[in-house]
């Protein structure tokens, strides 16, 4: 009679254990960056609504439009990081560039912005650069080397 009792064995002796580990690692890909996706999305959301939170919609109409568009772009980038990480984490450097642009945008796009608007954009830009570098570093660490 065959032994059909449910016993748990050690799979280290399995002949395909190395292939299974490799497949599992490929399946996970760069998902150790998943904890960054949420803060990136929240940063984009805040960037999009910050003109209404800080009440500079009438004094800086060009900067309102700029922050709304940049916030939507950052949010879409975060959704892309979540949806297709293996293809999107190459854009982490573009996210860093968006952060640098957010830092200098008040003087280029705005019309003599006050200190609150400037500090807001500097904080958003600095957080975008930091999160972009974190995404890029973790993605570079998790990509397989030939």
Burial class of residue 6 in the structure, from the number of CB atoms within 10 Å of its CB (0-12 exposed, 13-18 middle, 19+ buried): exposed
Mean per-residue pLDDT over the chain, rounded: 83
The pLDDT assigned to 10 comes to: 67
Of the pLDDT bands very low, low, confident and very high (cuts 50, 70, 90), residue 9 is low
pLDDT tens digits, residue range 50-108?
Answer: 999 999 988 999 999 999 999 999 999 988 888 877 777 778 889 999 999 999 999 99
Helix (H) or strand (E) holding 61: helix 61-83
17-21, 26-30, 32-36, 58-62 — most confident range: 58-62
- Listed in sequence order, the residues at least 6 apart from 131 whose beta carbon sits closer than 8 Å to its beta carbon are 36, 39, 40, 43, 95, 99
């Amino acid at each position: 009679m065959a032994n059909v009792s449910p016993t748990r064995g050690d799979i280290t002796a399995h002949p395909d254990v190395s292939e299974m580990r490799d497949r599992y690692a490929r399946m996970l890909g760069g998902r150790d960056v998943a904890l960054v996706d949420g803060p990136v999305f929240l940063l984009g959301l805040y960037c999009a609504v910050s003109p209404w939170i800080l009440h500079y919609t009438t004094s800086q109409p060009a900067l309102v439009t700029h922050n709304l568009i940049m916030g939507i772009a950052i949010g879409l980038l975060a959704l892309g990081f979540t949806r297709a990480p293996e293809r999107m984490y190459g854009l982490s450097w573009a996210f860093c560039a968006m952060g640098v642009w957010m830092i200098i945008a008040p003087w280029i796009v705005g019309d003599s912005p006050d200190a609150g608007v400037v500090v807001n954009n500097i904080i958003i830009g600095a957080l975008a650069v930091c999160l972009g570098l974190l995404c890029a570093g973790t993605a570079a660490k998790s990509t397989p080397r030939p």
